[in-house]
């Protein structure tokens, strides 16, 4: 096995968002399978778990242009990172012929179209020009691209085709181009969630054991739609008072305090207008990673809603994976691969984006059915869980690291020094 360097642009620690969790769990899963892994992340860095494999080493950096980033790259046979991280490390990468694995699971282009929608068009177009420059480099520098879904795989194959990477050299021994673009979805822990302490029921005011707890399991990012859930809560409140809606962290745990407050205050103001806040809707701090399973176990229904746009079509919602891990029935917006798979398995009800009435009806229906889940529903759930474990989803990256090589069309290039054979000696 080769030595793998994973460079995370997100924080690793007690409180982590989706990217940090993804990189920590990928690193841990690969180290448990015998691969020597270094996980480098921004300061401050702390171990999010007591269970750290012997082959996993944690390193921190202040910025991606540090001299020791070059040293780390020279000490490893494979580098794995997001496109923007690869772009920022390009000087170090161009000085050493190390194979690069590009993590394409999060398509930031579509996120920024939503995130920057209110900014002046000149600023938005400047970002897109910078993005094009970055992607021109990444598409040429990458040796293996991993994605979260088959729909994302089609997107990246199209990008690579436009960049000239879908060519005879890469195709001749790999007609499906699986060695160029492979799957590495977001995963779930191998062990079932545990409950070590009460975190919702009998802890939050007015939330009791018999209530129906509805969980919004993650941030309120600009491309998502928590407002529709609040409006659905107001509709349900007219019929029942035993529904409680929990938002355990609505902004990134390491965002500036002002940004965190702005997101929370906006949602809380809307909740107050609907006369919900602190009655049936609760906005909490970001949940520590080792307590997340407690929130899932104490919840009855998971919700993920988004508006209709490109980001939702190509997304892989990490919170939906958490719901699958915990076996929660779900109400999800239509439009993405995972939502469709969950609905086909009978564990999710899909609603049109922005439809508060349909969301309320779906929640009421699931609350009535929660005591009557059939074996027919549980079997596809178990099948999905088995295929989504972190130890399983890292398979393609593990195979690449067992025999890392530059992509076929890059092996003859002389633009990187020293040669790959020298780099491995």
For the stretch 38-84, pLDDT in tens is 999 999 898 887 789 999 999 999 988 888 899 999 999 999 999 99
Indicate if the pLDDT at residue 416 is higher than 80: no
pLDDT tens-digit profile of 288-338? 999 999 999 999 999 999 999 999 999 999 999 999 999 999 999 999 889
Strand locations in 150-280 (E): 181-183, 212-216, 243-248
Task: Give me the pLDDT at residue 260, please.
Answer: 67
CA distance 264 to 280: 16
Task: Give me the pLDDT at residue 420, please.
Answer: 43
- Report which of residues 255 and 79 the model is more confident about: 79
Task: Give me the pLDDT at residue 371, please.
Answer: 52
Number of helices and strands in the chain (H, E): 19, 13
Closest CA to 159 of 104, 113, 112: 104
Task: Give me the pLDDT at residue 251, please.
Answer: 83
- Report which of residues 423 and 62 the model is more confident about: 62
Task: Give me the pLDDT at residue 288, please.
Answer: 93
Task: Give me the pLDDT at residue 258, please.
Answer: 61
Mean pLDDT of the chain: 91
Q: How confident is the model at residue 264 (pLDDT cuts 50, 70, 90)?
A: confident
Indicate if the pLDDT at residue 16 is higher than 90: yes
Give the CA distances from residue 109 to residues 36, 87, 120, 204, in Å, rounded to whole numbers and listed in that order: 32, 15, 17, 38
Indicate if the pLDDT at residue 237 is higher than 60: yes
Give the CA distances from residue 75 to residues 4, 7, 70, 424, in Å, rounded to whole numbers and listed in that order: 9, 13, 9, 9
Backbone CA torsion sign across 290, 294, 295, 296: positive
Per DSSP, the residues of 159-171 read HHHHTT-SSHHHH
- Cβ atoms within 10 Å of 46's Cβ, excluding its own: 13
What is the average per-residue pLDDT within 118-138?
A: 96
CA distance 207 to 200: 7
Q: What does residue 213 show for φ and ψ, rounded to 5 degrees?
A: -95, 120
Indicate if the pLDDT at residue 146 is higher than 80: yes
What is the average per-residue pLDDT within 257-266?
A: 75
Q: What is the pTM of this model?
A: 0.92
Indicate if the pLDDT at residue 22 is higher than 90: yes
Q: How confident is the model at residue 352 (pLDDT cuts 50, 70, 90)?
A: very high
Task: Give me the pLDDT at residue 278, please.
Answer: 73
Task: Give me the pLDDT at residue 422, please.
Answer: 44
Lowest mean pLDDT among 42-51, 54-63, 146-155, 387-396: 42-51
Q: How confident is the model at residue 413 (pLDDT cuts 50, 70, 90)?
A: low
Instruction: Please state the domain extents for the chain.
Output: 3-187+389-423, 212-387
Task: Give me the pLDDT at residue 134, please.
Answer: 97
Per DSSP, the residues of 77-128 read SEEEE-HHHHHHTHHHHTTS---EEEE-SS-HHHHHHHHTTTS-HHHHHHHH
Task: Give me the pLDDT at residue 84, please.
Answer: 96
Cβ–Cβ under 8 Å, residues 116 and 124: yes
Cβ–Cβ under 8 Å, residues 105 and 146: yes
Cβ–Cβ under 8 Å, residues 306 and 225: yes
DSSP state of 374: -
Task: Give me the pLDDT at residue 143, please.
Answer: 98
CA distance 4 to 384: 28
Task: Give me the pLDDT at residue 261, please.
Answer: 72
Cβ–Cβ under 8 Å, residues 213 and 341: no
Choose the CATH number for 212-387 among 3.40.50.11540, 3.40.50.2000, 1.10.10.10, 3.40.50.2300: 3.40.50.2000
Cβ–Cβ under 8 Å, residues 156 and 104: yes
Percent of the chain having pLDDT more than 70? 93
Cβ–Cβ under 8 Å, residues 153 and 105: no
Task: Give me the pLDDT at residue 370, please.
Answer: 64
Residue 418: cis peptide before it, omega within 30 degrees of 0: yes
Q: Which CATH superfamily, name and number, covers 3-187+389-423? A: Glycogen Phosphorylase B; (3.40.50.2000)
Cβ–Cβ under 8 Å, residues 155 and 83: no
Task: Give me the pLDDT at residue 133, please.
Answer: 97
């Amino acid at each position: 096995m080769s030595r793998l360097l994973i460079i995370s642009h997100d924080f690793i620690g007690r409180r982590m968002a989706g990217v940090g969790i993804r990189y920590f769990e990928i690193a841990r899963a690969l180290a448990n399978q015998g691969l020597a892994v270094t996980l480098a992340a921004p300061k401050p860095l702390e171990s999010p778990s007591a269970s750290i494999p012997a082959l996993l080493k944690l390193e921190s950096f202040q910025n991606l242009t540090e001299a020791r980033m070059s040293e780390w790259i020279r000490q490893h046979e494979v580098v794995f990172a997001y496109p923007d991280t690869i772009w920022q490390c390009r000087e170090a990468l161009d000085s050493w012929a190390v194979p690069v694995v590009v993590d394409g699971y999060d398509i930031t282009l579509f996120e920024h179209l939503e995130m920057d929608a209110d900014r002046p068009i000149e600023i938005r177009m400047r970002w897109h020009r910078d993005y094009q420059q970055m992607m021109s480099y990444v598409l040429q520098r990458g040796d293996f691209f991993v994605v979260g879904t088959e729909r994302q795989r089609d997107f990246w194959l199209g990008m690579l085709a436009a960049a000239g990477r879908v060519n005879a050299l890469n195709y001749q021994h790999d007609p499906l181009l699986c060695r160029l673009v492979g799957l590495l979805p977001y995963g779930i822990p191998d062990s079932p969630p545990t409950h070590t302490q009460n975190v919702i029921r009998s802890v939050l005011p007015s939330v009791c054991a018999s209530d129906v707890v509805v969980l919004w399991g993650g941030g309120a990012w600009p491309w998502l739609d928590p407002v529709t859930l609040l409006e659905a809560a107001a509709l349900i409140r007219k019929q029942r008072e035993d529904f409680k809606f929990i938002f355990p962290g609505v902004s990134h745990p390491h965002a500036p305090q002002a940004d965190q407050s702005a997101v929370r205050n906006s949602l809380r103001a809307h909740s107050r207008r609907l006369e919900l806040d602190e009655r049936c809707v609760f906005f909490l701090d970001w949940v520590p990673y080792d307590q997340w399973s407690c929130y899932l176990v104490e919840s009855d229904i998971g919700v993920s809603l988004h508006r209709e746009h490109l980001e939702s079509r190509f997304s892989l919602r990490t919170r939906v994976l958490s719901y699958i891990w915990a076996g929660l029935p779900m109400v999800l917006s239509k439009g993405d691969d995972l939502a469709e798979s969950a609905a086909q398995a009978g564990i999710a009800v899909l609603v049109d984006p922005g439809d508060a009435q349909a969301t309320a009806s779906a929640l009421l229906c699931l609350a009535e059915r929660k005591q009557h889940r059939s074996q027919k529903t549980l079997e596809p759930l178990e099948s999905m869980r088995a295929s989504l474990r972190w130890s399983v989803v890292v398979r393609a990256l593990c195979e690449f690291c067992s025999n890392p090589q530059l992509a076929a069309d890059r092996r003859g290039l002389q633009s990187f020094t020293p040669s790959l054979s020298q780099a491995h000696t």
